[in-house]
């Protein structure tokens, strides 16, 4: 029998002794672990020979694609735990200390969102002459079946409009006045026209005269929004399966932390920055470990996200102060400041930057960590520098797309504002210098810098962790494949992959 018939792979180097580069341990040696290849028929000294039923070279190729990777060293696990366990304990302590007892009571102003609302239905809509409508949009008592009337969205001091208006009768469906009806006059130039059977939202002002207590403020969009949310959840579950279910649970937890902790704590007067840091950290820990499991891989993503959030917060604090941004730039923030003067609006702006950056950072850090882990499993002999360089190449593509997405998202949200500046023919410098636009610029660029920084930080952390146990570094048991002609050993391709 020739040499090529005895060995389907190139023959072993005789200088390395029996076993083709494998150290043969006696039976019962504790060093023979579950990852070692046992001696069985068709194996010589722990090296699998050619099995015709499995195809040529199957043992070597299968080991890199599906076999379990070497576990992360216990030392590194202890280091990661020593960082994350105190951090998680600090987050829990922050939640306990800052947990609100509910939003403080205040007298409703009836302005914007600060008013009582009820659900209602438009029962009838009839055409009337606008000449019969007074300047405020109210209806005279004549022709009003209930003796009640109200006005909605009519500009103060508007002159009587010529043409045809609409008189809508609305029935209140919720609250103590359920079943009560009132009329609403809709001017022909109003952007929102009422239709029979339409579900609407009405505002209630108890201090107003009875005939003016109710007015239509918006359309009831609960059904279409609810259906869209259901379609989203269904798509996530169908495509993601169990991962999708866990992602939806994490999303629900994030919403609960936001609505039960972050918002009430800020309203109670707690520092918005501290509340945002504690709340974001809680969301990060719960969401990442719930979606991706309790493993070293997820822990590295958590560390990368944490470092990037710290950088984002530091840059945001620096440039918000340097640019003298107050955070009070529109009607909503002005209303908040009027209702709760103790709230630090610039701190609220920084809190929004941190919370807004968290979602994108999670995506990038998890992707980079997974990429480095897969690179290591494909080539276990690659050092941390090689893993870092390969991971960075992947991260650059991610950065190019995500940063552009982030900027366009902010630009899309501010499109009406940008359109106003365009109509005014203001220069770019004038537009950028206004606080309203400068606030969005700082928000976008600070978040983008934190996003960009997360790629090298997370890639370096992941490369250092997974490269610690690469072949040739673990007590000399793994063979040296640097010599040509030595077949790579199988790595126990059977069995489930272990999470690390």
Would you say 183 and 192 are in contact if contact means Cβ atoms under 8 Å apart? no
Q: Which two tokens stand for residue 21?
A: 């580069």
Q: What is the pLDDT of residue 187?
A: 81
pTM of the predicted structure, to 2 decimals: 0.65
Say how far apart CA 370 and CA 387 lie, in whole Å. 12
User: Vertex 472, ends 486 and 491: CA angle to 5°?
Assistant: 65
DSSP-derived secondary structure for 180-246: -EEEEEE-TT-S----TT-EEEEEE-TTS-GGGSEEEEEE--HHHHHHHHHHHHHHHHHHHHHHHHH
pLDDT of residue 431: 78
CA distance 298 to 192: 49
* Contact in structure between 211 and 149 (CB atoms under 8 Å): yes
**What's residue 426's pLDDT?**
75
The whole-angstrom separation of Cα 458 and Cα 452 is: 11
Q: Count Cα atoms within 13 angstroms, Cβ side, for 475.
A: 5
Length of the chain equals 500
Token pair in block for residue 4: 């090529």
Nearest to 362 by CA among 284, 277, 464: 284
Cα–Cα distance for residue pair 496/473, rounded to 1 Å:
24
Which of 353, 284, 280 is closest to 316 using CA atoms?
353
Q: So what's the pLDDT on residue 210? A: 83
CB 120 within 8 A of CB 170: yes
What stretches in the chain show pLDDT beneath 50? 1-10, 12-70, 135-137, 139-161, 470-500
């Amino acid at each position: 029998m020739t040499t090529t018939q005895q060995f389907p792979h190139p023959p072993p180097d005789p200088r390395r002794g029996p076993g083709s580069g494998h150290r043969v341990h006696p039976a019962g040696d504790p060093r023979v672990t579950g990852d070692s290849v046992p001696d069985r028929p068709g194996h010589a000294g722990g090296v699998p020979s050619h099995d015709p039923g499995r195809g040529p070279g199957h043992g070597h190729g299968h080991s890199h694609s599906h076999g379990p990777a070497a576990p992360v060293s216990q030392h590194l696990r202890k280091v990661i735990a020593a960082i994350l366990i105190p951090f998680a304990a600090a987050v829990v302590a922050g939640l306990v200390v800052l947990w609100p007892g509910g939003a403080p009571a205040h007298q409703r102003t009836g302005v914007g969102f600060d008013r009582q609302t009820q659900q209602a239905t438009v029962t009838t809509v009839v055409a009337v002459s606008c000449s019969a409508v007074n300047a405020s949009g109210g209806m005279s008592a004549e022709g009003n079946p209930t003796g009640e009337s109200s006005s909605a969205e009519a500009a103060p001091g508007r002159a009587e409009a010529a043409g045809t208006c609409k008189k809508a009768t609305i029935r209140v469906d919720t609250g103590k006045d359920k079943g009560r009806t009132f009329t609403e006059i809709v001017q022909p130039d109003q952007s929102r026209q009422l239709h029979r059977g339409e579900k609407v939202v009405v505002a209630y002002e108890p201090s107003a005269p009875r005939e003016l207590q109710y007015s239509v403020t918006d359309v009831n969009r609960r059904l279409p929004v609810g259906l869209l949310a259901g379609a989203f959840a269904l798509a996530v579950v169908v495509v993601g399966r169990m991962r999708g279910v866990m992602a939806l649970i994490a999303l629900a937890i994030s919403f609960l932390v936001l609505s039960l902790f972050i918002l009430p704590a800020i309203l109670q007067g707690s520092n918005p920055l501290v509340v945002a840091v504690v709340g974001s950290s809680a969301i990060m820990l719960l969401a990442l470990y719930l979606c991706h499991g309790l493993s070293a891989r997820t822990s590295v993503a958590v560390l990368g996200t944490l470092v990037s959030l710290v950088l984002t917060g530091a840059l945001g604090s620096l440039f918000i102060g340097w640019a003298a941004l107050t955070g009070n730039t529109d009607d909503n923030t002005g209303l908040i400041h009027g209702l709760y003067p103790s709230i630090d609006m610039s701190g609220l702006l920084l809190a929004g930057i941190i919370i807004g950056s968290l979602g994108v950072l999670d995506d990038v850090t998890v992707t980079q960590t997974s990429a480095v882990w897969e690179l290591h499993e494909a080539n276990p002999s690659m050092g941390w520098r090689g893993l870092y360089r390969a991971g960075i190449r992947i991260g650059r593509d991610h950065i190019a797309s995500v940063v552009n997405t982030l900027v366009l998202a902010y630009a899309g949200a501010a499109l009406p504002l940008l359109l106003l500046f365009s109509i005014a023919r203001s220069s770019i410098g004038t537009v950028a210098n206004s606080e309203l636009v400068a606030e969005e610029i700082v928000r976008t660029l600070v978040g983008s810098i934190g996003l960009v920084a997360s790629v090298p930080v997370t890639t370096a952390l992941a490369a250092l962790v997974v490269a610690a146990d690469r072949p040739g570094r673990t007590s000399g048991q793994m063979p040296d494949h640097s010599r040509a002609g030595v077949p790579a050993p199988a790595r126990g391709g059977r069995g489930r992959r272990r999470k690390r």
